[in-house]
Amino acid sequence: MPKAIDQKDKQLKKQHILDSAEAVLRRQGLNKLSISAVAKEARLAQGTLYLYFKEKEEIIAQLTVRSRKRLLQLFHDSINAADNPLEQIRNILYASHTFFKENKIFHDLVSFYEVNAEQEEPQELQQASQNISALVVSVLDRAKTQGLIRSNLNATEFTYMIWGMSNGMVQLVDLRGKMLEKDLNKSPDEVYTSFVDFVIEGMKPTNPA
Amino acid sequence: MPKAIDQKDKQLKKQHILDSAEAVLRRQGLNKLSISAVAKEARLAQGTLYLYFKEKEEIIAQLTVRSRKRLLQLFHDSINAADNPLEQIRNILYASHTFFKENKIFHDLVSFYEVNAEQEEPQELQQASQNISALVVSVLDRAKTQGLIRSNLNATEFTYMIWGMSNGMVQLVDLRGKMLEKDLNKSPDEVYTSFVDFVIEGMKPTNPA
Amino acid sequence: MPKAIDQKDKQLKKQHILDSAEAVLRRQGLNKLSISAVAKEARLAQGTLYLYFKEKEEIIAQLTVRSRKRLLQLFHDSINAADNPLEQIRNILYASHTFFKENKIFHDLVSFYEVNAEQEEPQELQQASQNISALVVSVLDRAKTQGLIRSNLNATEFTYMIWGMSNGMVQLVDLRGKMLEKDLNKSPDEVYTSFVDFVIEGMKPTNPA
Amino acid sequence: MPKAIDQKDKQLKKQHILDSAEAVLRRQGLNKLSISAVAKEARLAQGTLYLYFKEKEEIIAQLTVRSRKRLLQLFHDSINAADNPLEQIRNILYASHTFFKENKIFHDLVSFYEVNAEQEEPQELQQASQNISALVVSVLDRAKTQGLIRSNLNATEFTYMIWGMSNGMVQLVDLRGKMLEKDLNKSPDEVYTSFVDFVIEGMKPTNPA
DNA sequence: TATGAATGAGCGTTCATTCAT
DNA sequence: CATGAATGAACGCTCATTCAT
């Protein structure tokens, strides 16, 4: 099966280029993510990159997909690390923060598609996002079944809310870390923990009057 | 005092250039925000811009400052439009959303600072942010005094949380509007309202057992 | 004689590559006639083409030779289709036009040699051209012998003139077709017919005074 | 009138760049007519060229217009150099040849617009071509009025024919000069003269029977 | 203070050609 | 013989910045 081996080689090379692109991205940011920088990082000629990717934007797209897939894996791990659905949600929220701290730069990529309206989000990226979403919804449904959270809480809607709120929070605590220390005498992690507590508490059923 | 007058003239010219830059930004987006485009919009020579701003990035920085100041004003208005501190918070949250919808393009500028780590956030921008923050803290303090929110809620910390969560939510509902419609059959505004309700409810004191 | 067979194989492969190149040329034009496109069309690796042709320009040269040979064949047919030498000339002139209409794209190749002065016209191309020339000369000689054209008309020279004038005319009527329609209300074919009539009439002996 | 002076300066610079482009074109041909080559020839930075021309193709367009205008001037001179309309036509035909010998390379530019179907011929070029055409038509009309040429000869149509035939001939005698010498023992100029004689004779009224 | 012509490095992309296998 | 991955120079074009006036 020589064909299969070649395909594998090609995939490995693609991964090597993506690794190089990711290294440049982390080191220099999206604005400096040029083909020439990636080629130099990968120790390849510029033209070679075009044997593996049709255009620069395909590289960027693949980077976002990689990132999203890693996050999905983290969410899976978060769920496996606990039995109680509420604890699973808590783990997921913490995982978001952990992930963001290590992958802050990837948020630029996601917003890349927002800024460039003419650019379609790659299908794979949408799929990965939906997988993440479905995963969280399922946890919320289980929590509701077990009476751990309010019954009038719409699982799908709240999934979006968790996604939005945590995204905002991880950006905030990271970006304003110094300010937090000064104003609050709390670390970013502590503030994020307060946020998680707030969300989890808010989900629980209210005491019957 | 001709010096003072000159200074004023200089400020006016700076504002004129910033107005032009903002017009270009809104019309063409960050990618097309070139010095030549701004100069043409301002009916000035390109070189002239460099008499007022050291470099292009300084213009961008000033644009974000302006944006932040406008948001501060909106928050002031939100507070003035209600007496009840909780309603004031609610208004502030809605104002964030409104502001984002009308100034979405400025978020590109903010991420600009995240990407260019070497670029310091201008002092003025930090000051504006702190003013906003102080304003919200004062509202929360009043709410606590009046017993409208839980007493163990740290006003400063919760101000940061409001800031972070709402930022995340406005981005989400705006950018994923179509997805919300499809998955939830709810409009972005409706989902945002759910978020606001969640936050407001979460602040209230729990019923005594 | 395995050697001879190999040679034949090699020739077949060359023809296959030239067929592919011609297909690309007709479909995409000279600008898109890249080695990679030809290789893909021929279902061969790019490097393989270099086993049969020293460089891209050699492929182009061979294409022009093919084209010229086809034209020669058309001229043969034109002559066979009539007995009267004058009618044979007329047929040849029409054949030039027909050929041009169907092979317009090849004229780009010819001008290729004009532009690249360092590039020698291949010997084979010159030979094909001379064959065409000799053929027309023989027809003109016969016409002269039969008293159908002026006796002071130099057959070789007039062959060149026919060649030059008709080449110019086919280019003109084809490329300026729309202009002809507008200015003259005549189709390209009609104008070309006028040209042919002019040439044929001009060849005939003048009436004796 | 400082504005007028500036405009004149700009025009001079444009002409300088066009001169440089023409020099490159004559020396290296259309394929090598790159922006970098023109910039080097003009002793300017590449970017500077874009202050005067929107894109490379605008430079090419202007070159063709220049060339066509020169030809128009040559035709005017040809007409002024003789009184008899037939001699004027003869002069025009000779002028075409003279012009072609010195401007052979410009034929590539004209065909540039033919090959790149998506490229529109610049309006100015069309205008110049029409001026040339109108000029020749007027000479032919005068010749007809004076009974110097056949009355059934359509002036407009024959103008196209002159244009087409002579274009073809000048290309031929130039390109096949050596062959002419060898086969005919005639120089290109002599063959072209035969062509001109043939055309002029063919225009004259036939002897009444 | 104001100009705007000029710069030149940088961009993404293409493609003829080479060469280790 | 045949491959096809790799090269690297070249392309047209953009734009932040400088500087002589």
Residue-wise pLDDT tens for chain B (209 aa)? 445 556 778 889 999 999 999 999 999 888 899 999 999 999 999 999 999 999 999 999 899 888 888 988 898 899 999 999 999 999 999 999 999 988 888 877 765 554 444 445 667 777 877 888 898 999 999 999 999 999 999 999 999 999 999 999 998 898 888 888 989 999 999 999 999 999 999 999 976 54
- pLDDT for position B61: 87
D168 vs C168, C176, C206: nearest CB? C168
End residue of a domain, out of D12, D30, D53 = D53
Nucleotides of E under 7 A from a protein CB: 1-20
Instruction: Give all chains having 3 or more CB-to-CB distances under 8 Å with chain A.
Output: B
Q: How far apart are CA C89 and CA C86, in angstroms?
A: 5
Asked if A168 and B173 come within 8 Å (Cβ–Cβ), the reply is no
Same-domain pairing of C1 and C25: yes
Question: Is C198–D154 a contact, with Cβ atoms under 8 angstroms apart?
Answer: no
In this structure, the answer to whether residues C48 and C30 fall within a common structural domain is: yes
Distances (CA, A) of A188 to A176, A184, D115: 8, 10, 64
The last residue of one of the domains, among C30, C53, C76, is C53
**What CATH number does residue C86 fall under?**
1.10.357.10
> Which CATH number do you get for residue D8?
1.10.10.60
If asked whether residues D191 and D154 sit together in one domain, one would say: yes
Give the residue from chain C lying closest to D204, CA to CA. C202
pLDDT attached to residue A114: 57
| Residue after which a domain boundary falls, among D53, D76, D94 | D53
Residue D180 neighbours by CB distance under 10 Å: 23
User: How far is the first Cα of chain B from the last one, in angstroms, to the nearest whole number?
Assistant: 70
Q: Quick check: A118 pLDDT over 80?
A: no
Helices A177-184 and A155-175: angle between axes, nearest 10 degrees: 80
D101-117: pLDDT as tens digits = 888 888 767 666 655 65
Predicted confidence band of residue A209 (pLDDT cuts 50, 70, 90) = very low
Query: Is residue C208 in a domain?
Result: no
Tokens in use for B123? 């002092």
A117/C11 Cα distance (integer angstroms): 53
pLDDT at C127: 80
- The CA distance from D158 to C195, in Å, is 9
Which pLDDT value is given to residue C26?
92
Do A36 and A84 share a structural domain? no
Q: Are residues B102 and B197 in the same domain?
A: yes
Whether residue C70 is found in the same domain as residue C49: no
Query: Do C86 and C120 fall into the same domain?
Result: yes
Query: Which residues, including other chains, have CB under 8 Å from residue D190's CB and lie 6 or more apart?
Result: none
Distance (Å) of CA B112 to CA A68, A102, A199, B58, D86 = 22, 19, 30, 12, 75
How many domains, in total, are found in chain C? 2
Same domain flag for A169 and A83: yes
Distance between A76 CA and the closest CA of chain B, angstroms: 22
Residue in C164, C195, C206 nearest the CB of D169: C164
For D185-190, the CB contacts below 8 A with 24+ separation are D186/C157, D189/D97
Q: What is the pLDDT of residue D118?
A: 55
Contact A174, A104 (CB under 8 A): yes
Does B205 contact chain A (CB < 8 Å)? no
Q: Which domain holds residue B94?
A: 57-203
Cβ distance A157 to B184 less than 8 Å, yes or no, reads yes
Of D114, D157, D169, the CB nearest to C184: D157
Q: What is the C-alpha separation between A74 and A88, in angstroms, rounded?
A: 12
Chosen from C100, C115, C200 to mutate, greatest number of chain D CBs within 10 A: C115
Assess if residue C110 is contained within a domain.
Answer: yes
Q: Nearest 10 degrees: CA dihedral of B179, B181, B184, B189?
A: 110
Residue C209 has pLDDT above 80, yes or no: no
Range A171-178, long-range pairs (CB < 8 A, 24+ positions)? A171/A100, A171/A107, A171/B164, A171/B167, A171/B168, A172/B160, A172/B163, A172/B164, A172/B167, A173/A97, A173/B160, A173/B164, A174/A100, A174/A101, A174/A104, A175/B114, A176/B160
Chain D: residue whose CA lies nearest to C111 = D108
Residues D128 and D147 in one domain: yes
Task: Look at residue B93 and tell me if it is in a domain.
Answer: yes
Using the predicted structure, report yes or no on whether residue C125 has a pLDDT greater than 80: no
Shared-domain flag, residues D8 and D20: yes
Q: Cα(first)–Cα(last) distance of chain D, in Å?
A: 70
Q: Which residues contact A204 (CB under 8 A, 6 or more apart)?
A: A86, A148, A149, A150
Based on the fold, state whether residues C43 and C133 are members of the same structural domain: no
> Is A41 in the same domain as A86?
no
